[in-house]
Structure 1
């Protein structure tokens, strides 16, 4: 007897009727086995429902039977939409429930993303009828920014039923360059990203800052800004309006590694400087800003250090890590 027949939630999907999993380097969805057979339409994919409508002022409102897609058809459509999002496989199981916050700022970031996802209205308008405002998450590597973006997109696509896409900005640049070799224009690749209802751009500010990259980014954001499309961003660069004084990393007096210097310089870089004033100004209007502190722990590194076995040198002495 199936989970639905017994009234119990499916142990595989938890009652969601769909399953997310990693296939190679991308996140994919599929209809759970518990919902493959539909008892509502008996596999026809559509149902007859009664709707009230007025086709004649003389007759007034009347009830009519109309054909509508069954819930199983809508489920399959949403699964297909999710499989077009392009989320990385590493975040296939990302959700708001399994996001771990180490500080208040991360908890706020989760709250902003979750509120956006749960309050989003299909069509991309806010309560006043204007474009729905997205969000931008800034913070060091490994602090869960992509996790929150993935959880947001999964909810929007599978629960709300919208079209969404995810792009990592440096991979987008590489895709456009390959397109040039195949005779495609940058506009042919940017076009679908400009029109999709919600677009998530990861690693904003990454790259060499070449004219090609800046022009590509400017065109993409300008198109979405002008069309009133909702866009989400994640970046490793600070959202602060002004550059702060460089912080000297803790190190023995007179000693500073090259990596220390690089990290210090990277922490001081501003997104405004990486993307330019024009794009930054538009981001201020398009998004809610959330900045995670520079000392927020790297979740991947923390997990590795906790899971790594203790290695011992010959003679029973522990080997010192570098």
Structure 2
């Protein structure tokens, strides 16, 4: 048995940071494919004629391309569901991990229900959604997009400028059509009614097309607010403002139609990591 490559551990790709986003590249051990000698096609005989066909290595290059289009933040490029850890006293985190593990077993994401992860900062919400994006692009070859809610509203706001380089359509259409959309930090910053209307249209169009949305938020829905802010979430910095007030009743209602709410409570992983250093 050949020993796995020391650089990529046999995955065929490596992930590093490029500015604020994670960036994948095909490992040196796979660039010079022994089958096609780097040509990305092979010659086969069909019906007595020699024809060119894509080499199997093309799949790896395409999956790396999809990952790089997804927009995963630099610190989350190598997150996996399997490495998500939780303690005995954190059953809510275990339920969240199980749900995201189930996504990895699906044959496809057509008509799959999404998830809205709710909880205070540091419990691993972004870890799980970025792990899903990494898995679906690099392991399954399914296109995904990861967007930060605050950044998305800011980009929409920039389209108002006369010298804008983007249009609303140019921002929203790729997010409507992609099979899997992850929205981080719902409710962060205050979007105007117009910006929220644009995002509502995005979510509604995805709902009508039966395309999955996974999202995270530090803001508890009103129905969960009192129960969880009487507990450890208050000590961990959870806000007392309900999610409905941050994103609007209509957008919240639409999300509830297409996604299950999972409340995550547990120790702050960021503080735990800092304590171990």
TM-score normalized with structure 2 length: 0.86
SS of the residue corresponding to residue 159 of structure 2 reads helix
Shift of 1:84: 0.9
Which of 1 and 2 has higher RCO (CA within 8 Å, sep 6+)?
A: 2
Deviation at 1:273, TM superposition (A): 3.8
Could you give the per-residue CA deviations for residues 235-262 of structure 1, whole angstroms, max 9, x where no partner exists? 1122463542695689xxxxxxxxx899
Give, in whole Å, the separation in 2 of the partners of 1:77 and 1:242: 42
- The 1:272–1:46 alpha-carbon spacing in structure 2 relative to 1, beyond 3 Å, is same
Q: Which residue in 2 is equivalent to 1:193?
A: 175
Evaluate the alpha carbon distance shift between residue 212 and residue 81 of structure 1 in structure 2; reply closer, same or farther with a 3 A threshold.
same
TM-aligned CA distance change 1:28 to 1:245, over 3 Å: closer
Query: Conserved in 2, the CA contact under 8 Å of 1:205 and 1:274?
Result: yes
Does the Cα contact within 8 Å between 1:29 and 1:82 map onto a contact in 2? yes
Partner of 1:257: none
In the alignment, what sits opposite 1:150?
130
CA 1:248–1:138: 2 relative to 1, 3 Å: closer
Taking a change above 3 Å as real, the CA distance of residues 197 and 273 of structure 1, as seen in their structure-2 partners, is same
Following superposition of structure 1 onto structure 2, how do residues 9-20 of structure 1 map, counting pairs within 5 Å? 9-20=4-15
Bigger radius of gyration among the two = 1
The 3 A distance-change label for structure 1 pair 178 and 280 is closer
**Structure 1 CA distance for aligned equivalents of residues 25 and 59 of structure 2:** 13
CA contact (8 A) 1:239 1:291 kept: no
Deviation at 1:106, TM superposition (A): 1.0
Contact kept, 8 Å, 1:20 with 1:29, in 2: the verdict is yes
1:287 pairs with one of 253, 259, 269 = 259
Cα offsets for 1:263-303 (capped at 9, x unmatched): 57x1x43323433332223222312321112xx21111222
| Structure 2 unmatched ranges of 5 or more | none
Say yes or no: does 1:174 pair with 2:137: no
Other-structure match for 1:220 = 202
- 1:99 maps to what in 2? 84
TM score, norm. by length of structure 1: 0.75
Q: Go from structure 1 to structure 2 and tell me whether the alpha carbon gap of 1:162 and 1:110 turns closer, same or farther (over 3 Å shift).
A: same
The question of 1:25 aligning with 2:20 is answered yes
Equivalent of residue 98 in structure 2, options 111, 126, 132: 111
Cross-structure match for 1:59: none
Distance, in Å, in 1 between the alignment partners of 2:128 and 2:231 is 29
- 2:57 matched residue in structure 1: 72
How far the C-alpha of 1:68 sits from its partner, in A, is: 3.3
Find the aligned partners of 2:264 and 2:56 in 1 and give their Cα distance. 40
Measured at CA, do residues 262 and 38 of structure 1 come closer, stay the same or move farther in structure 2, by a change above 3 Å?
Answer: closer
The alignment yields a C-alpha RMSD, in angstroms, of 2.8
Counterpart for residue 161 of structure 1: 141
* Map of 1:233 onto structure 2: 215
Distance 1:64 1:101 in 2: 58
Residue 249 of structure 2 corresponds to which residue in structure 1? 277
